[in-house]
Amino acid sequence: MQALLIVDVQNDFCTGGALAVPEGESVVPPLRRLAQQFTALGLPVYATRDWHPADSRHFAANGGTWPVHCVQGTPGARLREDLKLPSSVQIVSKGQSRTDDGYSAVVGEVAGRGTLLEDLKTRGVDKVIVGGLATDYCVKHSVLDLLSHRFEKARELYADHWLGFSEVQLHQFLENAGFKNIDVRVVSREKQSPHFQTVFATGMK
């Protein structure tokens, strides 16, 4: 079975947000379409959210790296309304403790169902389509963690801006993480932006 994983399409990561990805909202239309398609087919859809406490050590103000963003219960932490996610979508909360950066969705919590990884295994999911914000952090860490848990069939990265990553650099970061047999290639573009692309990855660790 396949599943769709929408990563951190939250107000704070889009234009005007506290930690905005340039043109981050451009991921919304294709991911909205995918969510609708998966739901119509009865396939699982997950949407992750950074869900930090105000005193998170993730924030520069508390000794970390990042400006304050996606604080639990704030407008900036809300998923984009224009995603128009179906009611059946499972919300995955990550970075909930003071010491958790929350980069990977795999260990995020699905209310009443355990971690995302546990829920994927319970449902028999062996293929995950991933997209969202931002590619160089939460999308990347989530994909690498999924690969490390041997999701053995095709993996697809439905990517946002690769922030200057070339196709060669995509191969490089996968190889540096220990994935030597991953085939990565650009297969389509969804927007005028030269960095918005769909990436198809296959192979095993």
Digit-coded pLDDT (tens) for 103-147: 999 999 999 999 999 999 999 888 888 888 887 788 878 888 887
Using omega within 30 degrees of 0 as the cis cutoff, is the peptide bond preceding 159 cis?
no
Confidence of residue 193 (pLDDT cuts 50, 70, 90): very low
**8 assigned to active site:** yes
Residue 21: pLDDT band with limits 50, 70, 90: confident
pTM above 0.85, yes or no: no
Which residue is catalytic, options 14, 50, 138, 140? 138
* CA–CA dist 99, 78 (Å, integer): 21
- Catalytic (active site) residue 119: no
Options 94, 101, 119, 140, the catalytic residue: 94
Tell me what pLDDT residue 199 has: 43
Catalytic site residue from 8, 50, 101, 160: 8
Contact 134, 21 (CB under 8 A): yes
Residue 184 C-alpha from the chain's centroid: 18
Our answer to whether residue 94 is catalytic in this structure is yes
Domain 2-202 has CATH 3.40.50.850: yes
- Domain borders along the chain are 2-202
Quote the tokens at residue 30.
């294709």
Which amino acid would we find at residue 139?
V
175-186 confidence digits (pLDDT tens): 776 665 555 554
Query: Which residues does 176 contact at the CB level (< 8 Å), separation at least 6?
Result: none
